[in-house]
Amino acid sequence: MITLKRTFITSLVIFIILYILRGLGIFSFLSGGIILILLLITISSGLAWAIKKTLRY
């Protein structure tokens, strides 16, 4: 469970930093597809972590 939590937090932090830096124009060369992939990784790892956290066994 710690691996999923670490994956979620890491991908969330990377997504937020890249999103902000792209908005400021520093990482403007990144395409929207890369941002979308990072967003999907963040959502899927967060859902997997939440589901795994609520399991009884």
| DSSP labels, the chain | -HHHHHHHHHHHHHHHHHHHHHHHTTTTTS-HHHHHHHHHHHHHHHHHHHHHHH---
The yes-or-no verdict on residue 1 having pLDDT over 70 is no
Answer yes or no: pTM beyond 0.85.
Answer: no
On whether residue 28 sits in a domain, the answer given is: yes
On whether residue 21 sits in a domain, the answer given is: yes
The yes-or-no verdict on residue 3 having pLDDT over 90 is no
pLDDT tens-place string over residues 20-43: 999 899 888 888 898 899 999 999
On whether residue 56 sits in a domain, the answer given is: no
On whether residue 13 sits in a domain, the answer given is: yes
Check if the beta carbon of residue 11 is closer than 8 Å to that of residue 55: no
On whether residue 55 sits in a domain, the answer given is: no
Res 20: pLDDT = 93
Q: Please state the domain count of the chain.
A: 1
Q: What would the mean pLDDT of 8-12 be, rounded to a whole number? A: 90
Instruction: For the chain, give the mean pLDDT.
Output: 88
CA count, 13 A, side-chain hemisphere, 17: 6
On whether residue 2 sits in a domain, the answer given is: no
Residue 14 token pair: 């990377």
Residues of the domain holding 23: 9-49
